[in-house]
Structure 1
Amino acid sequence: MRSTIQNYLAELRGKRVAVIGIGVSNTPLIKMLLRAGVKVTACDKRQRADFGGQAEELESLGAELHLGLDYLEGLDQEIIFRTPGLRPDVPQLLAAQERGSVITSEMEVFFKVCPCRIIAVTGSDGKTTTTTIIAELLKAAGYNVYVGGNIGRPLLPDVSGMESGDIAVLELSSFQLMTMDRSPDVAVVTNVAPNHLDVHKSMEEYIDAKKNIFLHQTPNGRLVLNQDNEITRAFAAQARGSVTMFSRRETLEHGIFLRDGAIFARRDGQERPVLYLEHILLPGDHNVENYMAAIGAVDGLVPDQVIRDFAAKFTGVEHRIELVRTLKGVKYYNDSIASSPSRTIAGLRSFTQKVILIAGGYDKHIPFDVLGPEVVEHVKALVLTGATADKIRQAVEKAPGYDAQVLPIQTYDDFDQAVLAAHALAQPGDVVLMSPACASFDKFRNFMERGAAFKKIIYALE
């Protein structure tokens, strides 16, 4: 039974609340709590000078700030909102729990009080594009849609305006899912591959976090899974509701599959072509899979013709194989979202020609062995930068068929120099692809900032 946001806020009045992380996702939460008369301590490891006027604004609204490297010390509030990037088992949170604190998050509370249906997407790759496709299809079909979670904006402050007929569409990361005890009405898992092993203690923990998107569903829930991914295929055995598989490789008795250049849906022995591949504007097999996952989620909610009309004009999400510019016959693509080898492999396979690849970045301690052979097959010149440059180089040089004369590799410590070096290598007709296979945190705050930096350099070329 879902509570209401009014009831939840009423329960918090008179209690002391801590919100860890004063970032994009938590700032609206802090303000909502303060407006409701809740005593809030906002904690962040950054220093006061890093916030500009935001610190004074929050204090003027009644917040107490706890900033600096010791921001987690002394937590003893009754309710503590954890930022997704903070593990739930850090010593300070465990100590607070032992003292009686309740650890929660903005997303966990949203699931508790949301009055409408929830469709949520997780996976190692394709989350944002799939989430966006689902949301836009529902909008095109006439639904009032709220988009949030790992993209969009925090939705908890919007709950009071939601109606039962609306639909919330969420992208959920493994960090958000780790402690979830509720699941959406429709859960989508695009795929699972090694990722974020710099934060997760093991691959098993990462997989278990992903499972939380469906483990708490009711028998009325729907779970959409990738049949072609060994890990997600195995999730079906633990499903509590109905399961819809999608496959690019197999014809399914029940589910979404590819045949004769079209995406088909088959249920109860009846099949129909939903979307022809020639009508999909986005390049790459991975985007075909994104559409298949989205169709599995909205089947029965969105007419097929709406899906066809949308696919014929949707150009994609920023930083995801985004065509930035064509200059002197060279096409420059920004795929900054590719923070894992599997994501970069999908990007490389999107092109029919060999590309000039810019890769490397923050080290998440995931192997690059699978990337090496793909680079040998799909790349004509490799430009490396960032903390993982040497690891990627070693993976490529060890790959079968590698020839230094055929595939030159250059390494630059500076990101700008790497981009300019790729530009210098390009000839008319070439494709330059920035698809790092790594997170951005060694040089940038996030993948969006990295993508924006790349685009700025490309736009400045003459």
Structure 2
Amino acid sequence: MPKVLLPLKGSEKVGLIGLGTSTRGVAEVLAHSGIGTLTLRAKETIPSLLPPSFAVRCYTGDTVYDEIWEDILFFSPSARREDPRLLAAKSRGCRFSSDAELFFDNTHAPVFAVTGSDGKSTTATLTSLLLSGGAYDVRLAGNIGRALSPLLFSEGRNTLTVAELSSFQLQYLSPRTRRAVITNLTPNHLNWHKDFAEYKEAKSHLLTYAEDAVLSADDEGCVSLFSGIRPFAVFSVRESLSSLLRYRARHVFTLSEEAICLDGRRLLPLSEIRLPGVYNIKNFMAAIALSMGYTDEERILSVARTFSGISHRAELVATRGGVRYVDSSIDSSPARTLSTLSALTDPPILLIGGKGKGVPFDSLIPTILS
């Protein structure tokens, strides 16, 4: 089992902020590394969710950040780090980390990273499928529901990791990756980020140490982040090959003659792609760009023909009395809802709702009315 180099010195005291998938992953690493005692600070503390080997001291409710005496705190992605009590602890020498930071500090395997406002789960899943089927041991983790740090124990010579990263994770992280893509940028999570500028800045951290960066040329927000960066690949469903040459990318993906084209050559006919919608053509372009050199055309064609999408994203769940019921509850922003609606062939009866994230819904109105 590979050794994980924890950022600890001697018998330092360890705490977890929050009890989600990522912090439970950190707890698993701590347990394997012989740590026996930790502090759990969360809105709701359920110590039984942690490995049974731990002696746990809990702080909850209004006392979550009281009496911070730990030497290092591992944060859940949804927990911000600017509370005055946290900053006071940091000034006393307390160090901050997370599941993703622990993983990227220790991994030696190539990482293919995906972020973006929309399409990142589909793109990350497609990338993992394109990389699989050969000599590689491919793992998919991160914001897609699986902690990153426990993967360190099963890392081998042929390991490849596909990491889906959220703006919450990237707020405090600039990871080193083999290849990275930002699928698009639209306002999101503005109930957590101070404003869209901070959200965009967090996403941009993915490009800081990427060996190869993939550019979505159809998205103005993404293009603005590539100032001074020469992309490994650029993709567009709107622009021509000659137009995209201005980015000086090594590879160019375009949409032409009813096919995804690579450097002007037909690569994947649209008729072979099982997933509907222009947004999924973009997801395929991004995933193929990420996996270049690690997959082949036969694998690309096989994935296109068989991949039916991720759960809760334009997912057909039932047909009753000639009526199709589609679950797209993962569309937690107006932009995602618009993308899904654009892929439907029949006018839908639309049921929408949920908790807002500080994002205006005005953009939905014209489409709903039409």
TM-score normalised by structure 1 residue count: 0.75
Hey, what's the Cα distance between the residues in 2 that align with 1:139 and 1:13? 40
Alignment identity in percent? 36
Is 2:20 the counterpart of 1:23?
A: yes
Hey, what's the Cα distance between the residues in 1 that align with 2:353 and 2:9? 45
CA displacement at 1:369 relative to structure 2: 1.6
CA displacement at 1:209 relative to structure 2: 0.2
1:304-453 to 2 correspondence within 5 Å?
304-377=297-370
The one of 180, 183, 194 equivalent to 1:190 is 183
Q: Deviations over 1:3-57 (max 9, x none)?
A: x96361384541111111122221132132134222421221115xxx3x716x6
1:288-299 to 2 correspondence within 5 Å?
288-299=281-292
Q: 1:143 and 1:5, CA in 2 relative to 1: closer, same or farther beyond 3 A? A: closer
CA displacement at 1:77 relative to structure 2: 1.4
**Residue of structure 2 in register with 1:249 after alignment:** 238
Secondary structure of the structure 1 residue equivalent to 2:207 = coil
Is 2:218 the counterpart of 1:225?
A: no
CA displacement at 1:140 relative to structure 2: 2.3
CA contact (8 A) 1:145 1:166 kept: yes
Q: How many residues align?
A: 361
Is 2:174 the counterpart of 1:181?
A: yes
Is 2:58 the counterpart of 1:65?
A: yes
Q: 1:77 and 1:258, CA in 2 relative to 1: closer, same or farther beyond 3 A? A: same
CA displacement at 1:353 relative to structure 2: 2.1
CA contact (8 A) 1:183 1:212 kept: no
Q: Which runs of 5+ in 2 are unaligned?
A: 246-250
Indicate the structure (1 or 2) with the bigger Cα radius of gyration. Answer: 1
**Residue of structure 1 in register with 2:206 after alignment:** 213
CA displacement at 1:222 relative to structure 2: 0.8
Q: 1:10 and 1:247, CA in 2 relative to 1: closer, same or farther beyond 3 A? A: closer
CA contact (8 A) 1:215 1:238 kept: no
CA contact (8 A) 1:321 1:333 kept: yes
Secondary structure of the structure 2 residue equivalent to 1:169 = strand
CA contact (8 A) 2:131 2:295 kept: yes
The one of 156, 160, 163 equivalent to 2:156 is 163
Is 2:254 the counterpart of 1:260?
A: no
Hey, what's the Cα distance between the residues in 2 that align with 1:256 and 1:273? 10
Q: Deviations over 1:376-427 (max 9, x none)?
A: 22xxxxxxxxxxxxxxxxxxxxxxxxxxxxxxxxxxxxxxxxxxxxxxxxxx
Hey, what's the Cα distance between the residues in 2 that align with 1:325 and 1:68? 42
Hey, what's the Cα distance between the residues in 1 that align with 2:275 and 2:168? 28
Hey, what's the Cα distance between the residues in 2 that align with 1:325 and 1:99? 57
CA displacement at 1:212 relative to structure 2: 0.5
CA displacement at 1:182 relative to structure 2: 2.6
Secondary structure of the structure 1 residue equivalent to 2:349 = strand
The one of 227, 234, 237 equivalent to 2:227 is 237
CA contact (8 A) 2:21 2:145 kept: no
1:107-122 to 2 correspondence within 5 Å?
107-122=100-115
CA contact (8 A) 1:79 1:102 kept: yes
CA contact (8 A) 2:216 2:235 kept: yes
CA displacement at 1:256 relative to structure 2: 1.0
Question: Aligned AA for 1:77?
Answer: E
Hey, what's the Cα distance between the residues in 1 that align with 2:232 and 2:114? 14
CA displacement at 1:181 relative to structure 2: 3.2
Q: Which has the higher contact order (CA 8 A, sep 6+)?
A: 2
**Residue of structure 1 in register with 2:248 after alignment:** none
Q: Which runs of 5+ in 1 are unaligned?
A: 378-462
Q: 1:312 and 1:91, CA in 2 relative to 1: closer, same or farther beyond 3 A? A: same
TM-score normalised by structure 2 residue count: 0.92
Hey, what's the Cα distance between the residues in 2 that align with 1:10 and 1:371? 46
CA contact (8 A) 1:121 1:131 kept: yes
CA displacement at 1:261 relative to structure 2: 0.6
Hey, what's the Cα distance between the residues in 1 that align with 2:105 and 2:323? 50
Hey, what's the Cα distance between the residues in 2 that align with 1:31 and 1:62? 14
Aligned CA RMSD, in angstroms, stands at: 1.9
Q: 1:137 and 1:97, CA in 2 relative to 1: closer, same or farther beyond 3 A? A: same
Hey, what's the Cα distance between the residues in 2 that align with 1:95 and 1:149? 29
Q: Deviations over 1:282-328 (max 9, x none)?
A: 11111111101101111222101210111101111100000000100
Q: Deviations over 1:207-253 (max 9, x none)?
A: 00000011123xxx1111210010001222143x6431110101233
CA contact (8 A) 2:65 2:85 kept: yes
Hey, what's the Cα distance between the residues in 2 that align with 1:195 and 1:127? 13
Q: 1:202 and 1:130, CA in 2 relative to 1: closer, same or farther beyond 3 A? A: same
Secondary structure of the structure 2 residue equivalent to 1:288 = helix
**Residue of structure 2 in register with 1:434 after alignment:** none
Hey, what's the Cα distance between the residues in 2 that align with 1:287 and 1:33? 39
Q: Deviations over 1:427-462 (max 9, x none)?
A: xxxxxxxxxxxxxxxxxxxxxxxxxxxxxxxxxxxx
Secondary structure of the structure 1 residue equivalent to 2:206 = coil
